[in-house]
């Protein structure tokens, strides 16, 4: 059995002291790792696009289905257009899907007015706007309207919905076959659609 000398015992004790210090330092280091902190937060941001929106009261029915026309024939109908968009916009009216190269088209005047009162199927109570109530220039025919107003860029009207609430305008469209229409008008046809377009301003 080996015997530990006093000198070996003292050496072992000196070696044990650094090891104990290292272990103690690890404990202290771990304990001092926590720290105070603070944050400030901005709530979640959100983005929503505005809109332009138009509707009318025609129930997908044409304003006119006129037959048997002759010199002096005339007719009128109204339609209500409503803006429900959330953005300020400008509304223009123009012709679409036009078939107006016939003698009937060039001998039929069209007058488009903007105002209030009436609605699709009845112009009772219609009153043109005091300013810019008549949108079509004088002597406008189906043919000239169809060729002159073909898009928003050259469309008719100055209506500018604000986008803050629902707004409506009533349009009265009147056609009249010229009282001096020539014989070449007999048996001819004409057709066109009306498009209202809103673009945000």
Mean pLDDT across 10-15: 51
How many Cα atoms occupy the beta-carbon half-sphere of 166 within 13 Å?
Answer: 5
Which residue did the predictor score with more confidence, 141 or 4?
Answer: 141
The reported pLDDT for the residue numbered 28 is 46
pLDDT, tens only, 49-81: 999 999 999 999 999 999 999 999 999 999 999
- pLDDT of residue 19 exceeding 70, the answer is no
Mean pLDDT across 174-200: 98
Report the number of distinct structural domains present in the chain. Answer: 1
36: how many CB neighbours lie within 10 A of its CB? 4
Q: Is residue 41 part of a domain?
A: no
Supply the mean pLDDT for the chain.
90
Q: Is residue 26 part of a domain?
A: no
- pLDDT of residue 195 exceeding 90, the answer is yes
Q: Is residue 2 part of a domain?
A: no
Question: Domain range for residue 151?
Answer: 54-200
Q: Is residue 38 part of a domain?
A: no
Q: How does DSSP classify residue 45?
A: P
Nearest-Å Rg of the Cα atoms of the chain is 42
Q: Is residue 43 part of a domain?
A: no
The reported pLDDT for the residue numbered 32 is 62
Q: Is residue 18 part of a domain?
A: no
Q: CA 60, CA 74: separation in Å to the nearest integer?
A: 23
Q: What are the φ/ψ torsions at residue 21 (nearest 5 degrees)?
A: -65, -40
The answer to whether 178 and 107 are in contact (CB under 8 A) is yes
Q: Report residue 28 CA to chain centroid gap.
A: 66
- pLDDT of residue 24 exceeding 90, the answer is no
The reported pLDDT for the residue numbered 33 is 75
Q: Is residue 74 part of a domain?
A: yes
Tell me which of 19-28, 65-74, 151-160, 185-194 is least confident: 19-28
The reported pLDDT for the residue numbered 22 is 46
Q: Is residue 153 part of a domain?
A: yes
The reported pLDDT for the residue numbered 136 is 97
């Amino acid at each position: 059995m080996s015997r530990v000398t006093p000198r070996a015992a003292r050496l072992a004790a000196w070696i044990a002291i650094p090891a104990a210090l290292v272990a103690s330092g690890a404990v202290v280091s771990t304990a001092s790792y926590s720290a105070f902190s603070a944050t400030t937060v901005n709530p979640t941001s959100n983005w929503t696009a505005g809109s332009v929106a138009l509707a009318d009261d025609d129930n997908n029915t044409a304003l006119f289905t006129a037959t048997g026309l002759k010199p002096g024939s005339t007719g009128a109908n109204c339609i209500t257009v409503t803006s429900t968009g959330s953005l300020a916009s400008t509304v223009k009216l123009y012709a679409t899907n036009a078939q107006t190269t016939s003698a009937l088209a060039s001998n039929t005047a069209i007058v488009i007015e903007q105002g209030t009162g009436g609605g699709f199927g009845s112009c009772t109570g219609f009153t043109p706007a005091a300013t810019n109530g008549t949108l079509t220039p004088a002597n406008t025919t189906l043919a000239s309207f169809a060729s002159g107003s073909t898009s928003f860029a050259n469309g008719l009207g100055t209506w500018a919905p604000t986008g803050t609430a629902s707004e409506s305008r009533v349009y009265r469209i009147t056609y009249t076959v010229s009282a001096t229409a020539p014989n070449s008008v007999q048996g001819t046809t004409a057709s066109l659609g009306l498009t209202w377009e809103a673009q945000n301003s």
